Amino acid sequence: MNAIVSALAVEVLPPSLKDNTGDLDRLKKGLAAQLAGQMPLVPFSRLAKVADRFRAAGFKGAAIVNDLAGGCELVDFLAEVPPVLPAMALDLGTTHLEAQLIDLLSGEVLARADLENGQIRYGADILTRIHFAAKDDGLAVLHNEIIACINRLAGELAAAANLPVAQVRALSVSGNTTMVHFFLKLDPHHLCREPYIPMVNAPDPCRAGELGLAIHSAAPVFMLPSVGSYFGGDLISGILASRLDQQEHTSMLIDVGTNAEVIVGNSEWLIACAGAAGPALEGGVARMGMRAGPGAIEHIKIDPDSRAISYSTIGGGRPKGICGSGIIDLVAGLYLSQQIDIRGKLRREACGERLIEGREGVLFVVAPAAESLDGEPVALGQVDLDALMRSKAAMYAILTTLINQVGLSFEQLHRIYVAGAFGRHIDPRQAIVLGMLPDLPLATYEPVGNSSLAGARQVLLDKEARLRCCALIKKITYIELNVNQEFMIRFSGSRFIPHTDHTLFPSVPYFEGE
Amino acid sequence: MNAIVSALAVEVLPPSLKDNTGDLDRLKKGLAAQLAGQMPLVPFSRLAKVADRFRAAGFKGAAIVNDLAGGCELVDFLAEVPPVLPAMALDLGTTHLEAQLIDLLSGEVLARADLENGQIRYGADILTRIHFAAKDDGLAVLHNEIIACINRLAGELAAAANLPVAQVRALSVSGNTTMVHFFLKLDPHHLCREPYIPMVNAPDPCRAGELGLAIHSAAPVFMLPSVGSYFGGDLISGILASRLDQQEHTSMLIDVGTNAEVIVGNSEWLIACAGAAGPALEGGVARMGMRAGPGAIEHIKIDPDSRAISYSTIGGGRPKGICGSGIIDLVAGLYLSQQIDIRGKLRREACGERLIEGREGVLFVVAPAAESLDGEPVALGQVDLDALMRSKAAMYAILTTLINQVGLSFEQLHRIYVAGAFGRHIDPRQAIVLGMLPDLPLATYEPVGNSSLAGARQVLLDKEARLRCCALIKKITYIELNVNQEFMIRFSGSRFIPHTDHTLFPSVPYFEGE
């Protein structure tokens, strides 16, 4: 463990005629023992401040030292070691930002906060934003928006921990490649164009002041590196958090959002790929879809015989929408109760009164208007179902393409780690029924929570994690699915429940010929 | 040799679906072999530019890499290796700035320029400026002034070499400790107060843009480190240039300006001291004193018997003043022709018509009004003579105090290197007559020119010189003369021509009892 910022207690003999060493040189010398002889650099922007404060404190106190790739940096001097040394870990998501304030001294979480990504107003999805960035000031607008959001989050975290935001001494950022480009004001033009090349995979740490962040201007900003345009730092975080890269057994890590990113490997090798899974699994686009939050139906049960529906909402109140896990429960339940066919089409005769006509076609009502929060029925349309079918097909095609590339079968996997809200909320059994995840014993599946945030936290606290993620990206072989023929074939085969080849899903009932 | 900035030719395979490495990561990888595996850092301020230009150049061209203490830095990318890679070497003097534009590729001097230090309007000497800096905006005013002067010099150099000033890729600064404080906008308060402590001896390199310099914003600014408040980077330059620190024999280096700075040593040890020599030797304060330049009387001969005077001016024209070397010639000549006594007092009866009455007392006329450039006689006053006597006494006292500290005699010195305009222009024999320099064979004395500028040039071109000067400052023992009792006693004994103890100067005629 070696946090990205340290407060090193130091006391040196005051200057005298017998020792006229300059103030900063004296301080550096005093620190050398604690830094294994390494001489910290003092950036020009901090030169006068550090020297002034060191002298004002009477040549003893605590030196604030940033630990960076190129060496360490002396950026401040305090009269004594502070009670906490706060740093911000950030999961920089396309739709959502989630952050924690971490005490670098104790490792404790001091505060948590989250926020919708303010860039959404310029484009709900990444691609729209990339196009927006190509306009006149587009990139600057997106950059400023994300900086403003992070500043707001930082302000909330600091307020919750009852300290000034300028005392936040470091920031780690775990995000997809495009978000990191926006964050650094880098042109994302080539990210979405063959051969899909980022401007940078592993940006060197910069200082918060350079980005206009409200935290301490000399705070180092550490970004989790990416492997490709579609395999970002958030996934590297996932590897750190799941320790996929440190195990003898071969395991898999799945992160599902708008894209599905998957990595398989062990301590010897790592192979990754990513593909568009469609937004259906995020609940972002389905008519009644919503993020997992109060009022979202997160679980749905349909009795296969009576077709009676029961559901539970997050927070326990009346429903106003359905989140991803609810949608997967619903569709699996609809299949097992034979209210949809193997192509995912609603069977009018089986659904009966649950079906209503909406503006965009037929809808399946989960919660009638009388039960819902806002007096509107909570329902899923055929359009949404079709989207989900594409998503689940993409997902399974990605997994099979990848496992096939490495010459393994799913059964040989020790674990399948499932990251994010998807991993936290879905029931793997239901995903198996849909043919989205392979038909394996449920114990194989292990949710790892917001591993993007977990990785961001790790790199703040642990030097080994910082070094490891930079070494990791050189170790990962990335397969581009956007141009992969095998993927396209497998995608077609996966557009049935559970699959065209139902021998792949022996545990799932197959309703032949319907 | 390893210049502070290099243009490294590099060509890499363009990105493809088979190799989706990010642009900057690809470039860094391509450079690794030329950088002995070192990974260059890309500062945030250059991130987008380097990546853009690398791609625009078709993934081949020349990477501009700064070599700094902490590692190397990738700051630009050009379509091809440029014909020259200009950098500015600067002697940052209290009264005068002197600079050269160096081609880092060939080592050639592309242009030279010099300029009066614009800070003079806020104080002719360092102490006045330190006091000025304590006023409201004083430090900012002095800082801005020196930056403006450097920008003007840089502009002149660039114009002379026919290239844009923003193409100057590095700056090295060799100056006294106070000037470096002003340059970096550091409070000089403690420099002139016991125990005379700089805020920093060895500032880490910064970037030109951080200081508001007009050269390339990413140009590294390397400052020669100091040993103490009165032993600055200009002296470290002198050591580099004279190679005092690399010789088996013990030698001495003397740099005389307003202060006299002296260092004695060899490859094993180095001991230094500095003391106020008074401005007389710079020609800065004497009534007719002037810097060595056109119209300055630089050499004077007085026939010891006839007392006839002949002189030569720089440029060969009519005289308008006397520079330091002329003043030393004059006073030595006046002594040998017995027109002044051993206390340096003008002997009215011996000087005859050469004496006139000025507003501030009696003056000795060197060039009558009819011969001078502006119709005013060029003359030296008793006041000036008294100042010179103090200066020469200080000088000799400094030298003897130092040589005594190391337990040597002057005769044991292999060489005495004399730096600066003083070393270039004075005749050591005349300085010996005055009792300013020890009575040694003239071959012992070796002028080293503007060694401050020479050192600045070396650190631009040679990595070993950069490392050496940082190692040097740890090796030098500095003796503070401001509080040295021995110095005060020796000073009193030196206030006669050549000395109270005339056995110390066997080669100089002694006019007893006069």
Question: Of the given ranges (A30-44, B11-25, B347-361, B471-485), which has the lowest mean pLDDT?
Answer: B471-485
Interface contacts (A, B; CB < 8 Å): 141
Give residue B344's pLDDT.
Answer: 94
- Please tell me the distance from the alpha carbon of residue A297 to that of residue A330, in angstroms, as a whole number: 10
Among residues B222, B115, B219, which one has the least CA distance to residue B167? B219
Q: How confident is the model at residue B275 (pLDDT cuts 50, 70, 90)?
A: confident
* DSSP-derived secondary structure letter, B340: B
Q: How confident is the model at residue B125 (pLDDT cuts 50, 70, 90)?
A: confident
B207 part of contact set with chain A, CB < 8 Å: yes
Among residues A165, A104, A123, which one has the least CA distance to residue A463? A104
Shortest CA gap A339–chain B (Å): 43
3-state helix, strand and coil shares in percent for chain A, rounded to the nearest 5: 40, 25, 35
Q: Please provide residue B469's backbone torsions phi and psi, each rounded to the nearest 5 degrees.
A: -70, -30
Neighbours of B424 (CB within 10 A): 14
Judged by DSSP in three states, B252 sits in strand
* DSSP-derived secondary structure letter, A41: B
The percentage of chain B sitting over the pLDDT mark of 90, rounded to a whole number, equals: 77
- Average pLDDT on B280-291 reads 56
Judged by DSSP in three states, B233 sits in helix
Label residue A102 left, alpha or beta by phi (over 0 means left) and psi (-120 to 50 means alpha): beta
Is residue A420 scored above 60 in pLDDT? Answer: yes
B44 part of contact set with chain A, CB < 8 Å: yes
Give residue B513's pLDDT.
Answer: 58
The pair of structure tokens assigned to A186 is 């880098």
- Please tell me the distance from the alpha carbon of residue B428 to that of residue B440, in angstroms, as a whole number: 9
A470 part of contact set with chain B, CB < 8 Å: no
ipTM: 0.90
- Please tell me the distance from the alpha carbon of residue A129 to that of residue B172, in angstroms, as a whole number: 45
> Which H helix or E strand runs over A127?
helix A126-133
Which chain A residues contact residue B480 at CB under 8 A?
Answer: 17, 20
* Strand-pair partners of B90: B99, B173
Alpha helices in A406-496 (DSSP H): 420-425, 428-434, 451-461, 463-475, 485-493
Q: Which of A12, A20, A47, A223 to mutate to test the interface with B (most CBs of B within 10 A)?
A: A20
* Strand-pair partners of B61: B10
Which residue of B lies nearest to A17 if distances are taken between CA atoms? B195
Shortest CA gap B51–chain A (Å): 6
- Please tell me the distance from the alpha carbon of residue A399 to that of residue A133, in angstroms, as a whole number: 32
Tens digits of residue pLDDT in A368-417:
999 999 999 999 999 889 988 988 998 999 999 999 999 999 999 999 99
- Average pLDDT on B154-162 reads 98
- Please tell me the distance from the alpha carbon of residue A490 to that of residue A446, in angstroms, as a whole number: 25
Give residue A59's pLDDT.
Answer: 97
Among residues B240, B239, B218, B236, which one has the least CA distance to residue B227? B236
B503 part of contact set with chain A, CB < 8 Å: no
Q: Given an 8 Å threshold on Cβ–Cβ distance, is A70 in contact with B71? A: yes
Amino acid identity, position B289: G
- Taking each helix axis from N to C terminus, what angle separates A138-160 and A126-133, rounded to the nearest 10 degrees? 120
Give residue A481's pLDDT.
Answer: 77
B164 part of contact set with chain A, CB < 8 Å: no
Shortest CA gap A74–chain B (Å): 11
The pair of structure tokens assigned to B25 is 């990561």
Give residue A288's pLDDT.
Answer: 62
Q: Given an 8 Å threshold on Cβ–Cβ distance, is B23 in contact with A200? A: yes
Give residue B65's pLDDT.
Answer: 97
The pair of structure tokens assigned to B191 is 């420099």
Angle at B474 between CA B472 and CA B475, to 5 degrees: 65
Q: How confident is the model at residue A5 (pLDDT cuts 50, 70, 90)?
A: very high
The single residue listed with the structure tokens 């294994």 is: A36
- Average pLDDT on B193-219 reads 96
- Average pLDDT on B362-391 reads 91
Give residue A33's pLDDT.
Answer: 86
Neighbours of B143 (CB within 10 A): 21
The pair of structure tokens assigned to A311 is 């559901």
Tens digits of residue pLDDT in A67-105:
987 789 999 999 999 999 999 999 999 989 999 999 999
A432 part of contact set with chain B, CB < 8 Å: no
Give residue B280's pLDDT.
Answer: 53
Which chain A residues contact residue B195 at CB under 8 A?
Answer: 15-17, 20
- Please tell me the distance from the alpha carbon of residue A297 to that of residue A319, in angstroms, as a whole number: 6
In DSSP notation, B175-232 reads E-HHHHHHHTT---GGGGSTT---S-SSPPPEEGGGGT-SS-TT-EEEE---SBTTB-
* CB contact at 8 A, A140 and A205: no
Q: Domains in chain A and their CATH numbers?
A: 5-78 (3.10.20.880), 86-223 (3.30.420.480), 244-279+388-449+457-504 (3.30.420.40), 289-378 (no CATH)
* CB contact at 8 A, A38 and B69: no
B21 part of contact set with chain A, CB < 8 Å: yes
The pair of structure tokens assigned to B157 is 């150099």
Is residue B36 scored above 70 in pLDDT? Answer: yes
Give residue B497's pLDDT.
Answer: 94
C-alpha dihedral, B157 to B158 to B161 to B164, nearest 10°: 180
Length of chain B: 514
Which chain B residues contact residue A207 at CB under 8 A?
Answer: 44
Q: Given an 8 Å threshold on Cβ–Cβ distance, is B197 in contact with A20? A: yes
- Selected residues 222-251 of chain B with any CB under 8 Å from a CB in chain A: 226, 228-229
- A197 closest CB neighbour out of B20, B204, B478: B20
Is residue B282 scored above 70 in pLDDT? Answer: no
Neighbours of B386 (CB within 10 A): 16
Among residues B185, B277, B279, B263, which one has the least CA distance to residue B227? B263
The single residue listed with the structure tokens 């024209």 is: B317
B300 part of contact set with chain A, CB < 8 Å: no
Q: Which residues are CB-contacts of B429 (< 8 A; sequence separation ≥ 6)?
A: B442
Shortest CA gap A17–chain B (Å): 5
- B197 closest CB neighbour out of A23, A42, A184: A23
Tens digits of residue pLDDT in A433-465:
999 999 999 999 999 999 999 999 999 999 999
- Average pLDDT on B321-338 reads 92
Give residue B285's pLDDT.
Answer: 44
Label residue B505 left, alpha or beta by phi (over 0 means left) and psi (-120 to 50 means alpha): beta
Exposure string over A488-505, b if 16+ CB within 10 A, otherwise e: eebbebbbbbbbeebebb
- Please tell me the distance from the alpha carbon of residue A307 to that of residue A365, in angstroms, as a whole number: 13
Q: How confident is the model at residue A476 (pLDDT cuts 50, 70, 90)?
A: very high
Give residue A284's pLDDT.
Answer: 44
The single residue listed with the structure tokens 């580099």 is: B240
Label residue A278 left, alpha or beta by phi (over 0 means left) and psi (-120 to 50 means alpha): left
- Please tell me the distance from the alpha carbon of residue A482 to that of residue A276, in angstroms, as a whole number: 8
A23 part of contact set with chain B, CB < 8 Å: yes
* CB contact at 8 A, B236 and B225: yes
Give residue B281's pLDDT.
Answer: 56
The single residue listed with the structure tokens 């990191």 is: A180
Tens digits of residue pLDDT in B235-244:
999 999 999 9
Give residue B450's pLDDT.
Answer: 93
Question: Of the given ranges (A31-45, A456-470, A474-488), which has the lowest mean pLDDT?
Answer: A474-488
Give residue A283's pLDDT.
Answer: 47
- Please tell me the distance from the alpha carbon of residue B224 to that of residue B457, in angstroms, as a whole number: 11
Q: Which residues are CB-contacts of A408 (< 8 A; sequence separation ≥ 6)?
A: A250, A264
Tens digits of residue pLDDT in A282-308:
544 455 667 778 899 989 999 999 999
A69 part of contact set with chain B, CB < 8 Å: yes
pTM for this one? 0.92
Higher pLDDT, B259 or A433: A433
Label residue B352 left, alpha or beta by phi (over 0 means left) and psi (-120 to 50 means alpha): left
- Please tell me the distance from the alpha carbon of residue B453 to that of residue B170, in angstroms, as a whole number: 15
* CB contact at 8 A, B338 and B514: yes
* Average per-residue pLDDT for chain A: 92
Beta strands in B34-157 (DSSP E): 60-68, 71-78, 86-92, 96-103, 109-116
Higher pLDDT, A70 or B454: B454
Between β-strands A270-276 and A476-480, what pairing exists: parallel, antiparallel or unpaired? parallel
